[in-house]
């Protein structure tokens, strides 16, 4: 797929990966509709990209916010929706209250589901539409102290896979993109320290954005970034008890870094 001259909607546009995608896609000649809650950041990002781009301050956790996104997407004849907005909570299950857990499920799972449904339904045209759901390697590997995040990203992966098969004879595409740890503000200081101690690789947002662009260009249905993360996602599906043992050896170290939930 060539994204030049196509209108692309990006949620979570002011986050680290969102901004990197915005700059890269604009360089490729796409016209962008940037979605986030912070008006000042949105305005500044849009101005930095030059002419031909749009922004909308909207809370995609609300029905009104999603309706506004879809309305403007339809008016602009958008062809691509990237469900990128998300939050992460690093804490024990007993310390995450119901409201925080619900926030993770809403932002990471339900909002992308509702936006995808409305985008495919309302932005009707003869031209093919593409949705990219940004998941995570932790959407395939249950990781301790990420219960809300894993629950939401596992759900997003299952939703995407089911919809891919549902649309297999249509012109529309739904892709699943799974980064590993990325150097963005979604990570608390504790998570950063934990990744460093465990020797976990952390990608730059620009690398992640480029990988997503390559997936769009190839329309590959699934993409997991990084090694050994890609291997462990496959292994966890086949022999989860082996992954149990590997993570169990890390558990004592992981526990040292737990702290109250962090939001992007």
CATH of the domain at 206: 3.40.50.720
pLDDT in tens, 215-240: 999 989 999 999 989 999 999 999 99
User: What's the pLDDT at 8?
Assistant: 98
Residue 134 lies in a domain: yes
Range with the poorest average pLDDT among 27-31, 98-102, 117-121, 225-229: 225-229
Residue 262 lies in a domain: no
Note the maximum CA span of the chain: 55
Is residue 22's pLDDT more than 50? yes
- Could you tell me the CA-to-CA distances from 165 to 13, 59, 168, 180 in Å, in that order? 28, 30, 5, 25
Average pLDDT for 152-160: 98
CB of 54 closer than 8 Å to CB of 71: no
Q: Alpha-carbon distance 184 to 196, whole Å?
A: 14
Residue 32 lies in a domain: yes
Residue 248 lies in a domain: yes
Nearest to 140 by CA among 257, 245, 15, 243: 243
Residue 143 lies in a domain: yes
User: What's the pLDDT at 261?
Assistant: 41
CB of 14 closer than 8 Å to CB of 35: no
User: What's the pLDDT at 127?
Assistant: 76
Query: The domain containing residue 145 runs over which residues?
Result: 7-255
User: What's the pLDDT at 125?
Assistant: 60
Residue 260 lies in a domain: no
The phi and psi torsions of 15 (rounded to 5 degrees) equal: -75, 175
Is residue 264's pLDDT more than 50? no
Average pLDDT for 121-139: 87
Q: pLDDT band at 161, cuts 50/70/90?
A: very high
Nearest to 88 by CA among 263, 255, 254, 208: 263
Residue 157 lies in a domain: yes
What is the reported pTM? 0.93
Q: pLDDT band at 260, cuts 50/70/90?
A: very low
pLDDT in tens, 53-110: 999 999 999 999 999 999 999 999 999 999 999 999 999 999 999 999 999 999 999 9
User: What's the pLDDT at 122?
Assistant: 81
CB of 7 closer than 8 Å to CB of 32: yes
What is the DSSP track for 190-236?
HHHHHHHHHT---B-HHHHHHHHHHHHHHT-SEEE-STTHHHHHHHH
Average predicted confidence (pLDDT) for the chain: 94
Residue 261 lies in a domain: no
List the Cα angle 109/110/114 in 5-degree steps: 125
User: What's the pLDDT at 33?
Assistant: 98
What total number of domains does the chain contain? 1
């Amino acid at each position: 797929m060539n994204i030049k001259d196509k209108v692309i909607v990006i949620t979570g546009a002011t986050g680290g990966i969102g901004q990197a995608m915005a700059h890269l896609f604009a360089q490729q000649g796409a016209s962008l509709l940037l979605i986030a809650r912070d008006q000042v950041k949105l305005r500044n990002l849009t101005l930095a990209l030059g002419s031909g781009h749009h922004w909308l301050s909207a809370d995609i956790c609300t029905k009104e916010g999603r309706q506004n996104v879809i309305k403007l997407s339809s008016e602009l004849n958008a062809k691509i929706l990237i469900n990128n907005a998300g939050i992460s909570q690093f804490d024990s299950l007993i310390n995450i209250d119901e409201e925080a857990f619900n926030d993770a499920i809403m932002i990471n799972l339900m909002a992308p589901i509702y936006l995808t449904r409305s985008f495919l339904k309302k932005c009707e045209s003869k031209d093919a539409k593409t949705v990219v759901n940004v998941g995570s390697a932790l959407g395939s590997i249950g990781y301790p102290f990420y219960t809300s995040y894993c629950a939401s990203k596992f759900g997003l992966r299952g939703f995407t896979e089911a919809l891919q098969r549902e649309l297999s004879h249509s012109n529309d595409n739904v892709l699943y993109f799974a980064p590993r740890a990325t150097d963005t503000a979604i990570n608390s200081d504790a998570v950063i320290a934990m990744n460093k101690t465990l020797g976990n690789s952390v990608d730059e947002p620009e690398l992640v954005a480029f990988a997503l662009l390559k997936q769009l260009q190839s329309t590959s249905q699934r993409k997991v970034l990084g090694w050994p993360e890609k291997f462990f996602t496959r292994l966890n599906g086949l022999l989860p008890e082996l992954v149990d043992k590997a993570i169990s050896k890390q558990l004592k170290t992981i526990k040292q870094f737990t702290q109250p939930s962090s939001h992007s």
